[in-house]
Amino acid sequence: MQFENLSLRLESDALLTQKLEPFDFGNDTDTHELELRMTALMQAYNGMGIAANQVGFDKRVIIVQPKGQEPIGMFNPEITSQSGICTDEEGCLSFPGLFIKVERSDNIIVNYVDKDQKQCTITLTGMDAKCVQHEIDHLDGICFITRVSRLKLDLARKRQRKYNGRAK
């Protein structure tokens, strides 16, 4: 994989709706460089998180930046526990200007492998938990627009058009 080709993919990109295969540390690309490039893209677009398929890479990798912490690269992340329910507004780098209230778990535990192939576990709450769930959804080919009713999506699209019209 050439990292120069990584770029933000927008909602019409078919890779966003594909379930991704696990990252293979034996055969896949340089983890340190991939994490560095994905983090740079996430930060360039002022994101809290980004999934590999959002940048054109087809393996299970996300980058998230919990509040007050450095970005974390999660290879093959898996939510092992979740509790509590909260509904908050979400946006997505691949859907500029679109914001929708989505129901998510408020507390999660995630197992993942870091760039150095170390097994890790992290407990997240609130917005950080919601961000990781959003990014793992991407890895499963699920975009946040599928988590709301058609009516709510239509209203959000109307606001998006108005927002994007002002930005031009």
Give DSSP secondary structure letters for the chain.
--GGG--PPPTT-GGGGSPPBPP-TTTS--HHHHHHHHHHHHHHTT-SEEEGGGGT--BSEEEE--TTS--EEEEEEEEEEEEEEEEEEEEETTEEEEEEEEEEEEEEEEEEE-TTS-EEEEEEEHHHHHHHHHHHHHHTT--GGGGS-HHHHHHHHHHHHHHHHHH-
With beta carbons less than 8 A apart as the criterion, state whether 143 and 17 touch.
Answer: yes
The one catalytic residue among 11, 78, 103, 135: 135
Catalytic status, residue 135: yes
Going from the C-alpha of 14 to that of each of 19, 119, 138, the distances in angstroms are: 11, 31, 12
Where in the sequence numbering do the catalytic residues fall?
A: 135
